[in-house]
Structure 1
Amino acid sequence: MDALWVVLPLLIIAVALVLRRYRPGWYWVTFGVTCAGVRVLARYRSVMEACGLTVPPSRWRLALARLTDRPAPESRSPRILRIRPTRTGLVLRLKIRSGQDAFDFSAASDRLRHSFVLHAVTAQEIRSGVVELRMTGYDVLRDVRMPAPGPASGVLRVPVALREDGAVHHRDYRSVPHALNVGATKSGKSVYQRNLVAGLAPCVVALVGIDCKKGVELAPLAKRFTALADNPDTAADLLAALVQYMDRVYQVIRAEQRVSADLPDAEITADIWDLPEHLRPTPVVLLVDEVAELALAANKKEEVRRDQIVTHLVRLSQLGRAAGIHLEICGQRFGSELGKGITMLRAQLTGRTAHRVNDETSANMAFGDISSEAVLAAIQIDKDRPGTAVVGDSSGGWTRIRTPHTTLRQAVDVCNAHAYRTPQIPELDPFRPVLPARVLSGTVLP
C-alpha cells in the first residue's frame, strides 16, 4: 500500500507530461485549467501592480487614513467580476478603475501572458468600464481542431478557421459583405478558399467562381457552382452578366418596397433580406482566385478587357451588397501596380485576411489602412505553419487564425453531396460549368 502512494503521484505526473506534449487540449481540460485558475487568482494583485494596471488610492481614502492615523492605503487593482474556464483557456472579466482604459490592458497583454504563464492573452472591451481578458492555455493553432458544429448561427455565416483565443472564426457575409484574401504561394490561401466553399455548400446561395488558372482550384467543386469562368475573356462576360442580374434584383426590390403613408417602417426594404421569402432572390457569393490575372494586360486589346473587368468588380463591390451579391477576392498581391481602379476596389473590401506574405509591402496592402500591428503580425507568420493568417476589418480589430487542413477530396465530397442546392440564374446559364469526364486507366468515361 505504501508503494502505491509513491507510484500513483508519479504516474499522474507522467500522464500529465505526456498529455501536455501530445494532447495539449486534453491536458488543459484535466490538469491545466485548475492549475492556471489557482495561479491567476493567487498572483492577481502582484501581477496587476507589476504590469502597471493599478490606480493610486483616491484623495478621500488618503485623507481618511491621515485622520485616523492609519497606514496609507495600497493601490487598487481592477475588480474581478467573473472568471470562467473554457476548453482552451480562461476568461477573466474585470471592472476597471477610474482613470483606466481598455487600451492599457491591450498594451500589457504580453506582460500578462508571461506573468500568468499562459500562451496568449487578449483584451476586449465589453462595455463601458468592463474589460474581458481571454487567456489561452496552450497553442491552439499548432494542431487545429474545430469544435463540433452547432446549430446554424445565421444566414451566410460559416465557420472557416480557429482563432488564437480558441474561438471559432466565422465568415459572416451579412456584416462583412466583401473581403480580400492575400497570401504567397503555399501559404494556405487556397485551403482557406476551399474551406469557405465547403462551408457555403449547404447554404441557400449561388456560388460563382473565377479561376484563371484554367480552373484547377475551383473546377473540381463545379457541381456546387452556378457559374464558373476559367480565363479572363470568359470572366469579363461573366461579370457583365452578373451586373445585369444585379440590375434585375434591384427592379424586384423597387417593385416590392410599397412605400406609402400607412405602411409600417419595418416593412419598407432597401435590400433583399426584408423581402418576403417567396420573392427573395438567391444571394450570390463571387469567388475570384488570383485577381492579378484579371488585371494584367500585355496589349491594347487586353487593356480594354482589363478595364471592363475592373469596372464591373468595382460596380459589384459598391452596389452588390443590397442585391445579395458578395465578393471574395484572392490574390498574392493587390496593389496599385495592377492598374487603374484597383485601389478603388480594395477600398470597398471591408474584410481583410493575410496569410504568409513575401514582403512587407504585401501586408501593407491588406492592413496598412487598418492597423500597423496587424502588418507586423502578418510578416511574422512562420512558413512552417501553412494556413495561419491575420484577419481584420475596417474597424481596426484583428486577430490570428488558422484554417484546418481540408483536402480537395473532402471539399469535393461536400460539394457533390449538396449539388442539388445549386440554384439556376437565367443571366448566368451560359456560364454553367461543364462537369469534367471521369478518367480511368486512360479511358474517358461518361
Structure 2
Amino acid sequence: MTDLTTLLEVGGPLAALGGGTAYTRAKYPAVYWSAVGGPISTARLLSSYSSVMEACGLTVAPSRLRVLAVKAATRREVRPVPPRRGIIRPTSTGLRLRLRLAPGQEPADVAASAERLRHAWGVHAVYVTTVKPGVVELRLVGYDVLRRVRMPRNTGSGFLKVPVALREDAMPFVRDYQTVPHQLTLGATLSGKSMYLRHLITGLATQPVALVGIDCKRGVELAPFAARLSALATDPDEAAELLPALVKEMEDRYDLIKARQGIAPDTPAEEITSDIWGLPESERPVPVVLFVDEVAELFLTATRKDEERRDEMVTQLIRLAQLGRAAGIYLEVCGQRFGAELGKGATMLRAQLTGRVCHRVNDEASAKMALGDIAPEAVSAACAIAPELPGLAVAGDTSGGWSRIRTPYLSLGNAAEICRESAHLVPDLPALKPFRPDVPVRPTETPAPAVLPHPATD
C-alpha cells in the first residue's frame, strides 16, 4: 500500500505534466515552443555548434597565426574553424542568429546544409538569408507555423502593401503593388483562393485606392464588397464595356504624364517623371486595382460574335498589363484554370503578370502555367498541396524565388463589413461612374418603445 501511495504521489504529477506538455504542443505550439522547445533547442545549439559545423563541412583550416597561438598556449589539438556565431535571438516562432562566414565560404554552402542543421538542433525548419557580403542569417522555425496561421504584429503594411498570408519561415507575405504590379492567382474550388482575395480587398479597402472588379460568376465573389468598389462587371458583356473605360482612363493618365514632361527646359530633373508617382500630389490620380475573378470566362466563346468580343477584351487586358503600371493601374487576375488552350492571348497575358500564387489545382498543367516559367521546382510543391489544407499556396515571382504561404481565415461577413465601413473612401472617377454597383441599403431596426401605447376609450 505504501508503494502504491508513493507511486501515485510521484507518478501522478509526472503523468499530468507529460500529458499537459503533449496537449500544449499539439494545441498551442507557440506556447510550447516558448516554454520548452526554445530552451532545449538553444541548449543543443550552444553545446554542439562547433561539432555540427564540422560535420556539415562548414569549417575551414585555421590560419597559421591561430595554429601558433594555440600550440604556444596549450598542447591541445588545433581544430578547424567554424563560422563566427552571433547572438542568438529568440522569437515567438523560433530562433535567429547571424554567422560571419570564413574566407572561402559562400551562403550557398550554408543553405545546402540547412536540412542537416534542422535535424541536429531539433527544429522544424532552417532558412538561410544573406544579410551582407560575408554575413548570413539563420532563421530557425520551431514548429509548423502554417498549420495554424497567426499573423505577426509587425507585418510591414503600408500604402499599396497588403499582408495577406504567412510564409513558411514565419515571415508575413506582403503583396506590394509598387514592386510587383500585376499578379496571377490560381486555385481550384475550396482551395482558399477566395480567402486570399478577401484579404487583398479588405487590405486595400482602407487605403485611398480605387477598386474595380470583374466577376463573371454573376458577382457572387465580389458583390459582397460592392460598397467599396468603384466599378463592377458581373458577366462578359459588362466586362466588354468596362475594360475600354479602363483603357481610356489609362490613356488619359498618360496624357497627363506627357503634359508634365513637356514643361520648361529650366525645370529641375526631379520634377520630370515617367509615371504618376513623380507627379505632384495635388495632380496625381488615384491608383486603380482591377480584380478579375474567373478569368477563363472571358476567354470562353460559343459563337463568332463571342470570339470577336473575346479578342477585344483580351487585347485590352494585355494593354493594361503592359502599360498600366506607369499609370497606376494594377491587375489581380484570378481563376481556377489557366492555360494556353484558353485561346489567343492567354500566354501573352501571363507573361505580363509578374507575381504568381498557385493554390491547390486540379491538374499539373495549371501549376506549370503559373510557376513553370519562373521556378520549375515549385510546380511539384504546388501539386502536393492537400485538400485538407485550404489557404495553402506556393507564391513566386519572376526573380525565381518561391515559398509556401497560407492565408488566415477571414469570414465573408467580416470582410463585407470592413468594405461597408470604408465606403466613404471610394474615389471620384468620372470614367467609372456608369459601372458603380448598386449598394443595397441595410434595413434599420426601429427599437420597440419601452411603454406600449394604449388607445383612449370613452
Q: What is the TM-score with the length of structure 2 in the denominator?
A: 0.88
Correspondence 1:190 to 2:194: yes
Structure 2 CA distance, aligned partners of 1:439 and 1:65? 84
Displacement after TM superposition at 1:9 (Å): 7.0
Provide the residue aligned with 2:451 in structure 1.
Answer: none
Partner of 1:444: none
Contact 1:206 1:226 in 2 (8 A): yes
**Within the alignment, does 1:348 sit opposite 2:352 as a pair?**
yes
Quick check: 91-100 or 227-236, which moved more? 91-100
Residues 152 and 171 in structure 2, CA contact (< 8 A), matched pair in contact too: no
Distance 1:186 1:18 in 2: 30
8 A contact 1:161–1:169 mirrored in 2: yes
Change beyond 3 A, Cα 1:438–1:329: same
Paired residues of 1:224 and 1:416 also in contact (CA < 8 A): yes
| 2:278 aligned to which of 270, 274, 278 | 274
Once residues 135 and 9 of structure 2 are traced to their aligned partners in structure 1, the CA distance between those partners, rounded to angstroms, is 49
Q: Which of 415, 418, 421 is 1:414 aligned to? A: 418
Q: Secondary structure at the match of 1:52?
A: coil
Helix, strand or coil: the match of 1:389?
Answer: strand
- Report if aligned partners of 1:62, 1:72 keep a CA contact under 8 Å in 2: no
The match for 1:443 is: none
| Correspondence for 2:21 | 16
Instruction: Determine which of 216, 224, 230 is the counterpart of 1:226.
Output: 230
Query: Is residue 2:219 matched to residue 1:203?
Result: no
Matched, 1:93 2:98: yes
Matched, 1:394 2:398: yes
The verdict on how the C-alpha distance between 1:263 and 1:438 changes in structure 2, with shifts beyond 3 A counting, is closer
The 2-side partners of 1:418 and 1:149 are apart by 23
2:97 partner SS: strand
Cα deviation, residue 439, structure 1: 9.7
Counterpart of 2:245 in structure 1 is 241
Shift of 1:414: 0.6
* CA deviation vs aligned residue, 1:75-116 (integer Å, no higher than 9, x gap): 322221232111111112111223322222323222222222
Q: Using the alignment, how far apart are the partners of 1:261 and 1:424 within structure 2?
A: 33
Alignment of 1:272-311 (within 5 A): 272-311=276-315
Separation (CA, whole Å) in 2 of partners of 1:15 and 1:69:
49
Equivalent residue number for residue 44 of structure 1: 49
1:117/1:244 CA distance change after superposition, 3 Å: same
Q: Percent identity?
A: 55
Aligned position for 1:154:
158
User: Conserved in 2, the CA contact under 8 Å of 1:82 and 1:94?
Assistant: no
Closer, same or farther: CA 70–323 of 1 in aligned 2, 3 Å: same
Q: TM-score, normalised by structure 1?
A: 0.91
Unaligned runs of 5+ in 2: 1-5, 445-458
Q: Which amino acid aligns with 1:355?
A: H
Q: Would the aligned equivalents of 1:155 and 1:174 in 2 still touch at CA under 8 Å?
A: no
Greater CA radius of gyration, 1 or 2?
Answer: 2
Which residue is 2:176 aligned to?
172
Q: Assess if the C-alpha contact under 8 Å between 2:186 and 2:334 holds in 1.
A: yes
Partner residue, 1:54: 59
SS in structure 2 of the partner of residue 82 of structure 1: coil
Aligned residue type for 2:180: V
Distance 1:58 1:337, change over 3 A: farther
Letter in 2 for 1:50: A
1:279 Cα shift? 1.3
Q: Distance in 2 between matches of 1:171 and 1:345?
A: 20
1:178-228 Cα offsets, whole Å, 9 max, x none, are: 111011111111110011111111011000000000000001111110000
1:272 partner letter: I
Summarize deviations over 1:237-296 as a string: whole Å, max 9, x none: 111100000111112222234654433332222211222222110100000001111111
Please state how far the C-alpha of 1:356 moved relative to its aligned partner.
1.0
Q: Please report how far the alpha carbon of residue 166 of structure 1 lies from its aligned counterpart in structure 2 after TM superposition.
A: 1.2
- How far is the alpha carbon of 1:372 from its aligned partner? 2.3
Q: Which residue of 2 aligns with 1:256?
A: 260
* Amino acid corresponding to residue 56 of structure 2 in structure 1: C
Tell me which residue corresponds to 1:145: 150
In the alignment, residue 317 of structure 2 is paired with which amino acid?
L
3-state SS of 1:371 partner: coil
In structure 2, the partner of 1:378 is 382
- 2:381 counterpart SS class: helix
* 2-structure distance, mates of 1:65, 1:140: 44
Alpha-carbon shift at residue 409 of structure 1 (Å) = 0.7
Going from structure 1 to structure 2, the CA distance change for 1:259 and 1:50 (only over 3 Å counts) comes to farther
Q: 2:315 corresponds to which letter in structure 1?
A: T
Cα 1:361/1:111, change in 2 over 3 Å:
farther
Partner of 1:25: 30
Which whole-Å CA distance do the structure 2 matches of 1:69 and 1:29 have between them? 40
